[in-house]
């Protein structure tokens, strides 16, 4: 971030940062940012603003009864297996495990596995004399979709085969997603406007998001405003600002720097309707 603190150095924030720098306007625009919501620039989202990757791992292993391995990773066949699941088994490889890079969606089977049926089991009347296995495969969660990122096949402590499949999903900001500044000013997206529908300054700068001014006075997050001001100076000068509390950085000193660069000392700018 442009406004840094000394505690960031101790928290190793440069090695593992969090969040992104956005161009923020504090304004009422269309009323879709009332009550702690934000108006976000759809064009910025399309360019990759606040886009993130989400990983989820699915694991499974063979079971053993006594000395005998009873479960087996394989692609279940309808001819000899009962209790098959709804999802498609077509994406599995011959060994019953999906390949990396395959695109999958809700309830697709990603790890195929079968267990033997006891000779006297009825299996709810689904069983015929040819059926000797039961399906115990792992499907993808019904609400998710994505790409298989990595597949690991290994053995566990007991020497049984163990499979781990990691899924990768790209999450794109949409209405209802929650965002927050570093001052606990949290809000959800109320609406997204394309760049041509957003307001712009005299230099043609279009904000990435617009927060509501009513979120500031009652919460008294004054440091938030000073940090915004300092970040604006930092962006103009090309240096990082020091936002550590109880230092001799004052609002007046930041305002003077802002005035040097030809801006209003408190950071106000006229914006034109998009």
3-class DSSP state of 168? strand
* CA–CA distances in Å: residue 265 to residues 3, 213, 233: 18, 18, 11
Alpha carbon distance, N-terminus to C-terminus of the chain: 28
Catalytic annotation present for 149 = no
The dihedral over CA atoms of 193, 199, 203, 206, expressed in degrees to the nearest 10, equals -30
Beta-carbon contacts of residue 248 (< 8 Å; ≥ 6 apart): none
Nearest Cα to 58, choosing from 160, 153, 139, 4? 139
Place of tokens 């940062």: 17
* CA–CA distances in Å: residue 32 to residues 49, 185, 206, 239: 20, 17, 17, 34
Helices 251-260 and 222-237, packing angle to 10 deg? 30
How, if at all, do strands 52-61 and 161-171 pair? antiparallel
The Cα 61–Cα 154 span in angstroms is 10
* Size of the chain, expressed as the number of residues it contains: 274
In this structure, what token pair is assigned to residue 235? 């962006």
In this structure, the number of other CB atoms found within 10 A of the CB of residue 109 comes to: 25
Q: Which of 36, 95, 149, 197 is catalytic?
A: 36
The Cα 169–Cα 71 span in angstroms is 30
Catalytic residues: 36
């Amino acid at each position: 971030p442009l406004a840094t603190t000394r505690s960031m150095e101790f928290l190793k924030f440069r090695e593992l940062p969090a969040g992104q720098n956005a161009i923020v306007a504090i304004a009422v625009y269309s009323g879709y940012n009332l009550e702690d919501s934000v108006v976000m620039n759809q064009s910025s989202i399309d360019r990759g603003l606040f886009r993130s990757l989400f990983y989820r791992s699915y694991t499974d292993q063979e079971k053993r009864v006594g000395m005998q391995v009873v479960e087996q990773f394989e692609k279940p066949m309808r001819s000899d297996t009962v209790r098959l699941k709804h999802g498609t088994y077509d994406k599995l490889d011959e060994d019953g495990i999906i390949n990396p890079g395959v695109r999958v969606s809700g309830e697709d089977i990603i790890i195929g596995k079968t267990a033997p049926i006891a000779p006297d089991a009825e299996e709810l009347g689904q069983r015929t004399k040819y059926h000797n296995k039961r399906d115990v495969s792992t499907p993808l969660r019904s609400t998710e979709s994505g790409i298989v990122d990595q597949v690991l096949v290994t053995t566990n402590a007991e020497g049984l085969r163990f499979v781990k499949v990691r899924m990768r999903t790209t999450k794109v900001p949409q209405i209802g997603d929650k965002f927050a500044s570093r001052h606990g000013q949290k809000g959800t997206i109320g609406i997204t406007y394309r760049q041509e529908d957003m307001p712009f300054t005299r230099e043609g700068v279009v904000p990435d998001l617009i927060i509501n001014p009513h979120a500031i006075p009652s919460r008294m997050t004054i440091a938030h405003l000073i940090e915004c001001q300092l970040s604006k100076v930092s962006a103009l000068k090309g240096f990082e600002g020091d936002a550590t509390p109880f230092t001799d950085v004052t609002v007046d000193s930041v305002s003077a720097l802002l005035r040097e660069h030809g801006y209003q000392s408190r950071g106000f700018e006229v914006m034109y309707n998009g």
